[in-house]
């Protein structure tokens, strides 16, 4: 693995871990009644997003062909939910849990999802030196 690919992979794992920790914190707040996540069927959305971020982290740590598919499944879930939450927030519906400063967390989730996709592609990109 070349230098920039190693850096991209390290950033990918680190940012995915931050995503898991952040959403786990929100999920815990939901569980204890301190935060209110919107419901998706039987489950709060933050629980579902936590599963998607966990899939991303697992795929980032264990790199083979199957985790690549796992990454994209997790990423698609996070991305769709973040885009939906962001769109609802921008239309005036308070949907996403807030940070201490009042910023909807779905804004951060959308930004993180975009960065994770870029890092995954960069860390997965084959170069001529990979075959040596």
Query: What pLDDT is stored for residue 33 in this prediction?
Result: 86
Helix (H) or strand (E) holding 117: helix 105-124
Q: What is the pLDDT of residue 128?
A: 55
Domains of the chain by residue range: 3-127
pTM, to two decimals: 0.87
Q: Is the pLDDT of residue 121 over 80?
A: yes
Confidence at residue 92, expressed as pLDDT on a 0 to 100 scale: 94
What would the CATH number be for the domain defined by 3-127? 1.20.1440.130
Q: Write 35-38 long-range contacts (CB < 8 A, 24+).
A: 35/97, 36/97, 37/97, 38/85, 38/95, 38/96
pLDDT, one tens digit per residue, over 87-117 is 999 999 988 988 889 999 999 999 999 999 9
């Amino acid at each position: 693995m070349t230098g920039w690919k190693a850096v991209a992979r390290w950033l990918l794992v680190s940012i995915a871990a931050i995503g898991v920790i952040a959403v786990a914190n929100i999920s815990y707040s939901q569980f204890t009644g301190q935060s209110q996540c919107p419901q998706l069927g039987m489950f709060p959305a933050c629980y579902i997003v936590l599963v998607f971020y966990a899939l991303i982290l697992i795929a980032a740590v264990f790199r083979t062909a199957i985790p690549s598919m796992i990454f994209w499944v997790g990423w698609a879930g996070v991305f769709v939910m973040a885009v939906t939450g962001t769109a609802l927030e921008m239309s005036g519906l308070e949907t996403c849990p807030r940070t201490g400063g009042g910023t909807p967390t779905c804004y951060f989730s959308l930004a993180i999802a975009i960065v994770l996709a870029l890092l995954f592609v960069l860390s997965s990109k084959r170069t001529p030196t990979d075959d040596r």
